[in-house]
Structure 1
Amino acid sequence: MNVLLFENRFDAGLKLAEQLQIPDNAVLFAVPRGGVPVAYAVAVEKELPLDLVVVKKLPAPWNPEAGFGAMAPDGTVFWADTLGGRVSMDTVVEVGRKVLEEVKRRERVYRGSSRYPDLFGRLAVVIDDGFASGYTAARGASFLRWLQPERIWCVAPVCSEKALKVLREFCDRVFCLHVSRELPFAVASFYADFHDLTDEEVLAYLQDLRRRGLLLTEES
C-alpha cells in the first residue's frame, strides 16, 4: 500500500533538492502545472535557472487520470498504443485537438512569446510531481533534444516502475526518490495535499523566480 511521503509539492521539491546532486550547468524544465512547485523548490535551493516545458498527457476517454500518450508544444505526440481498439480514431483525434489547444494556451499564459533557450553544452532537467506512465516526461525530453543539450535527466519525487523503464529510453538519467511497484499507481496517493493548481498559482511561482533572477522566460 502506498504511504504519504510529502505534505505538498513544495515539500516534495525540498526533499528532492536534498538528495539530488546536480551540476552547475543544469537548466530545470518544470512540467506545468504540477511540476512547477517541485521545480521551484529545487531551483531556489540549488540556485539554478528554470524554464517550463509545456507538455500534456493525452487522457484516456474512459479515465481522464490515465493517459495513452502526450503532446509537446509543437504538436508532436508521444504515442503509446494502449487503446486496444476501445475507441475510434475520430475520438483519438478529438482528444488530441483539445490537448493541443490547452498546450498552446498554457504556452501563451506561462511563457508569453519567449523562445526555448539554446541548450548546447547544458544539462536539461525535466521535473514533474510524479511519473505515472512516463509518457509526458518522455515527450518533454524528446522535445528538448531538439535544443541540443549535452544530457537530459528526468526527475520526480515519485514514479512507477513502468515509468522508470519507459523514461530510461529517453533520458540519460532518471531520478526518483521513491519508485513504486504498487498497482494501480497514483501520484496523488503520496501527497497529503495534491490539489489542482490554478494558472494564478503557477504565475505566482514564476514571478517569484523572476524576482530572484532564476526564470529564463521573459515577460510577454
Structure 2
Amino acid sequence: MIAIIDYGVGNLKSVYKALNNLGLQAVIATTNQEIHNSAAVILPGVGAFKDAIIQLSDSGLIKGLTKSVAAGKPVLGICLGMQLLFDKSFEDGEFQGLGFLKGEIHRFEEGLKVPHMGWNHLKKNIDDPIGRGLTDEEYVYFVHSYYLKTCQPKDVVYWCNYGTDFPAIVRRDNIIGMQFHPEKSGKTGIQLLKNFGEMIG
C-alpha cells in the first residue's frame, strides 16, 4: 500500500488514479496511522512553499513522514512535494523545509518566463533504478517557478535545463524527488511511477 499524504495541498486524485492504473494499491492518507501502515509514501504538492509547509505542519503528518524516512520506506516527493524535502526555500521570504535532503530552493533567474510550464527534456546524470526503462529522449511535464539550486550533485539522477541546469529527479537512499508531475507525463511518467512501485519491499 502506498500512502499519498493529504495535507490540503496537492494533486491527489490524478496521482491516485495513475497508481491504480499500474495495479499499485494506494490510499489518500489523512492520519499518521495510515502512513505507518503503508509500505511507501508519496508527498505531492502544488502552490506556495510557505503555505504548504504550514499546512503540512498543522496536519501533524510530518511525524508519520519522518518515521517513514527513518524506517527506509520509499518516499517520493512530487513537484512542490520534492521541494519540501530540502532544507529551505526562498519563495516569498525564507522558510525552513523538512531537511531530509541538503539543498535550497530558489526562483528562476530574471529574464525567464515563469512558471516554467510544459514539456522538457530529461538529461541523465547517473544510472539509478528509478530511471529503469527510460531512453535519452524522454520528456516530462513541469509547472514550477522555483527550483532546486544548491544540492548534492551526486544526488541528481536527471537534470533538466530552463535557462540553467536544474535537478529534475533526485535520490538519496530511500528518498526520491521529481520536480515535474509524473502523473501528467504520459508513458515516461508512468514508467517512473512503475519503477517507484518496484522499489517497495
TM value normalised by structure 2: 0.30
Greater per-residue strand proportion: 2
Quick check: which has more Rg, 1 or 2? 1
TM value normalised by structure 1: 0.28
